[in-house]
Structure 1
Amino acid sequence: MPASTTTASVVLTAKALLLDMDGTIVNSDAVVERCWRDWAVSHGLDPEEALKVVHGRQGYATMAVLLPDRPMEVNHAENAVMLARETADTDGVVPVPGAPEFMASIAAVPHALVTSADAALAAARMTAAALPMPAVRVTAESVQDSKPHPEGFLKGAAALGVDPADCIVFEDSAAGIAAGQAAGMRVIGIGPRAAAHNPTVHAADLTALRVTTAADGSIEVAVAIEVAGA
C-alpha cells in the first residue's frame, strides 16, 4: 500500500522578511524561457541546459557561467539588451498562487524585495502581476555581485536595520537559496525548483504560508508541509 500523508506546520520566527521576486512571488517563467531560449540558440548552446542556470542570477552572471571564456564586458553589454527585452515582454507574467494574500499579510511588517532584476524590470513584472511593490528593495543596480553571492540579502537586512540571523528569505532558485544561506539567514523555498536545494523548509507555493505577528512584535511564518505516514 502507498504511504499516506498528513499535513503538519513548521513555524519560523523572524524580525524581517526578504523576498525574491521571479519564481517566488511573480511567475515570469514564460518570459524568461522565451528570452533565454532565443539567446542560447543564437550562441549555439542547448536551451534546456541554459535554463538550468538562468533562474536567480543576473543575466551577465548567467552568461558568464554558460560562456566562461567570453570577456565580461560583452556579457554586460548583452545583458543590457536582454533586460530591455524582458522589461518590454510581460505576456504570461502572473502572481505565484497565494501571492496577493501573502503580500497583504506582510504589509505591516518589515520586509524588502531582493531581486536580480533591475529596477525597471522589477517594476514591470510587479505591475503585470498586480502586486504591491515593497518600499524597501534591493535590485540589480544596488549590488556588485549577483546571487549566489549574499550581498543582496545582506543589504536588504541592513536597510531594514535587522541582524541577518533574524531574517527569513523567500526564494525559488538554487542561486537564491545559496545566497540566503551564505548570508546566515533561514530560507523558505517556494515552488518546485526550490525543493532540491535544501532550504530550511519548503512550500509548494505561497498558499502554504500564514504570516502573523506575535505579542512581542516578532513575525511568525507558519509553513504547511506534507509528512509521509505509515
Structure 2
Amino acid sequence: MQASTTSTTPVVLTAKALLLDMDGTIVNSDAVVERCWRDWARAHGLDPHEAMKVVHGRQGYATMALLLPDRPMELNHADNAVMLARETADTEGVEPVEGAPEFMAALGALPHALVTSADDALATARMAAADLPMPEVKVTAECVGASKPDPEGFLKGAAELGVDPADCVVFEDSAAGIAAGRAAGMRVIGVGPRAAAHGPTLHVEDLTSVRVAPDPSGSIRLTVHTSTA
C-alpha cells in the first residue's frame, strides 16, 4: 500500500466555530486506552484486538454495550465508572497530537469548544498531561444523554457557542465521532490514521497540516493540507 502524502494545494474552509474531539484528535492517549481496554476485554473473555476496533470515540458504557449486547446496561454503567477512574489516574504516555499546541494557540479567543466522550475529570487530566489549554466551552460525558455517534454533543456545543450547526467544522479521529459530526450537519476534518476510512469531509495526518486564522468576514479561516493516498 502506498503511504499517504500531503497535497501541495491546500483547501480553504471558513467556519463560525470549531468543535474539537479530544482523544486521538488533539491528545494522543492511545497508550492508556489500550492498556485499560485490553485488560477489560480479557477479563470478560473478549478478543482485545477485536475490542479495540470499537472503543475509540464512544463513551465506555456504549462500547461495553456493543461488545456485550446481552449484558444489563446498569453493569455497563458501573464498569464505566471504574474505567473512567482508572483512565483518569493513568496519564503515562499521554501527549499532544503533533501540531496540537500550535493549533490550540492559534485558536486563542476564536469560537471553539471541546466535545468529548470523556467525563470532566478525565478531560481535565488528559488536557493537563498534554499541556494543552482547556477550551472555555466544553461538552463532556456528563452533559449529554447519548454517546457518539449520536450528534447530541456536537449540537450542544454549537448551541452553547450560538452558532448554526452548518457553520461549524468538527475535528475528529474516530468512526463514531465522524458519524456524529456528519449527523449534526457539520463538516468534519478527520485527524490521524483512524479517520481516513470513515468519510470525513477532509482528512489530515495530524494538526501540522491545518492553519487557523481569523477571517476578515469575522469567521475562522482554515487552510488545510489534505492527505492523499
Q: TM-score, normalised by structure 1?
A: 0.96
CA contact (8 A) 2:203 2:227 kept: no
Amino acid at match of 2:41: A
| Aligned AA (1:98) | G
Shift of 1:227: 5.2
Q: 3-state SS of the aligned residue for 1:54? A: coil
Runs of 4+ with deviation above 3 angstroms = none
**Equivalence map 1:23-102=2 (5 Å):** 23-102=24-103
Residues 1:226 and 1:59: Cα distance change in structure 2 (over 3 Å): closer
User: Matches of 1:226 and 1:39 in 2, distance apart?
Assistant: 34
Matched with 2:129 is 128
Identity value in percent: 77
Q: Please tell me the residue identity of whatever aligns with 2:200.
A: P
The one-letter code matched in structure 2 to 1:29 is D
Task: Answer whether contact 1:115 1:138 (CA < 8 A) is retained.
Answer: yes
Change in 2 beyond 3 A, CA 1:182/1:89 = same
Give 1:201's aligned residue.
202
1:13 equivalent in structure 2: 14
Q: Deviations over 1:16-41 (max 9, x none)?
A: 00000000000000000000000000
* Alpha-carbon separation, structure 1, partners of 2:171 and 2:46: 31
Q: Which residue of 2 aligns with 1:217?
A: 218
Q: Is the 8 A contact 1:164 1:184 kept in 2?
A: yes
CA distance in 2, matches of 1:45, 1:86: 20
Q: Secondary structure at the match of 1:131?
A: coil
| C-alpha distance after superposition, 1:67-98 (max 9, x if no partner) | 00000000000000000000000000000000
Q: CA deviation at 1:107?
A: 1.0
For the pair 1:151 / 2:152, whether they are aligned, the reply is yes
Structure 1 residue 5: Cα displacement? 7.6
Q: Tell me the C-alpha RMSD between the 2 structures.
A: 1.3
- Which ranges of structure 2 fall in alignment gaps of 5 or more residues? none
Helix, strand or coil at the partner of 1:196: helix
- Structure 2 distance, partners of 1:175, 1:125, is 20
Cα deviation for residue 213 of structure 1 reads: 1.2
Query: Gapped runs of 5+ residues in structure 1?
Result: none
Equivalent pairs, count: 226
Q: Give secondary structure in 2 for the equivalent of 1:53.
A: coil
Q: For 1:197 and 1:108, how far apart are their aligned partners in 2?
A: 30
| Partner AA of 1:191 in structure 2 | G
Higher mean alpha-carbon deviation, 120-129 vs 207-216, is at 207-216
